[in-house]
């Protein structure tokens, strides 16, 4: 209740601030520009008015976002978070399907209000969108058949002739693999929901993805082992992406994330998926 009240108060304060008239000393032209004819309304006002929070998500990245093909419903840690964010804005979430290669473009084009679902902060993405406070730290680490895990401890061991490294296209996994795999065979698999089955079946040997995903996939696939997830090859952070230029909405999302990551809300959703 305290958290909901805090967010509600913040939303009201930001909305009032955004709508406040310019100072009386400002020239008339400046007042008109600020009040605005033609100025795009903040999502902080538009979402409650619309009653819908549009969430871009890939649906292929458990435990953060997963589209169940049998029910057509989205589930995951960040889907739970999207429901909480929408509720705090007196709205309901509507999920907009996207891919890793289209995610930034879809958000920038206004197809959604926010992008959620295990999105990593990167500098190329930050040139086009803004990011919230991080929800968790992460990094690229290998996952392989448990019988082979001793063979793939280092990048040098992985990048050898005769090894098949599998990767999903369009995101940071492919970027990392192409930067480091020079001698091993790199196999691009278009479906991130079935990519781990390729390793189990022996059609690939290893994948390098975020430690959170390797832990989850090892949990649901006993044949696979997450390799040193506590010591990944890289450092990265997960966050939510919002359109550039909407300071009021960005501030609200930041405050919401800050509360959720400090009052146990986000941790509880992660633990539920990792059981």
Question: Would the pLDDT of 9 be above 90?
Answer: no
Angle in degrees, CA 178, 103, 256, rounded to 5? 115
Strand positions, DSSP E, the chain: 52-57, 60-61, 65-67, 74-75, 92-97, 114-120, 129-131, 136-138, 140-145, 164-167, 185-188, 206-210, 224-226, 236-243
Q: What is the mean pLDDT of residues 259-269?
A: 97
pLDDT recorded at residue 275: 76
Q: Quick one: tokens of 104? A: 């930034």
Q: What is the pLDDT of residues 93-125, one digit of tens each?
A: 999 999 999 999 999 999 999 999 999 999 999
Q: Quick one: tokens of 7? A: 């967010």
Query: Strand, helix or coil at 41?
Result: coil
Q: What is the pLDDT of residues 12-29, one digit of tens each?
A: 555 444 444 433 333 333
Sheet with 65-67: strands ordered across: 60-61, 65-67, 74-75
Q: Count CB atoms within 10 A of the CB of residue 88.
A: 24
Q: Count CB atoms within 10 A of the CB of residue 192.
A: 24
Q: What is the pLDDT of residues 154-189, one digit of tens each?
A: 999 999 999 999 999 999 999 999 999 999 999 999
Query: Strand, helix or coil at 132?
Result: coil
Query: Strand, helix or coil at 185?
Result: strand
Q: Quick one: tokens of 57? A: 């998500």
Q: What is the pLDDT of residues 127-150, one digit of tens each?
A: 999 999 999 999 999 999 999 999
């Amino acid at each position: 209740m305290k958290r909901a009240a805090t967010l509600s108060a913040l939303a009201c304060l930001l909305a009032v601030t955004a709508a406040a008239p310019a100072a009386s000393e400002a020239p008339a032209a400046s007042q008109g520009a600020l009040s605005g004819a033609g100025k795009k309304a903040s999502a902080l006002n538009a979402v409650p008015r619309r009653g819908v929070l549009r969430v871009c998500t890939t649906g292929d990245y458990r435990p953060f976002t997963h589209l169940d093909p049998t029910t057509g419903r989205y589930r995951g840690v960040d889907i739970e978070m999207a429901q909480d964010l929408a509720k705090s804005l007196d709205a309901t979430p509507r999920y907009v399907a996207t891919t890793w290669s289209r995610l930034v473009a879809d958000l920038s084009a206004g197809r959604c209000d926010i992008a959620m679902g295990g999105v990593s902060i990167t500098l190329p993405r930050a040139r086009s969108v803004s990011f919230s406070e991080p929800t968790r730290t992460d990094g690229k680490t290998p996952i392989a058949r448990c019988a082979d895990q001793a063979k793939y401890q280092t990048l040098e061991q992985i990048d050898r002739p005769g090894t098949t490294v599998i990767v999903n296209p369009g995101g940071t996994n492919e970027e990392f693999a192409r930067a480091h795999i020079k001698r091993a065979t790199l196999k691009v698999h278009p479906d991130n929901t079935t990519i781990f089955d390729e390793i189990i079946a022996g059609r690939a040997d290893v994948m390098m993805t975020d430690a959170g995903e390797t832990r989850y996939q090892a949990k649901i696939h006993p044949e696979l082992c997450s390799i040193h997830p506590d010591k990944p090859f890289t450092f990265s952070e997960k966050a939510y992406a919002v359109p550039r230029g909407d300071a009021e909405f960005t501030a609200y999302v930041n405050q919401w994330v800050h509360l959720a990551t400090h009052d146990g809300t986000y941790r509880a959703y992660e633990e539920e998926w990792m059981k």
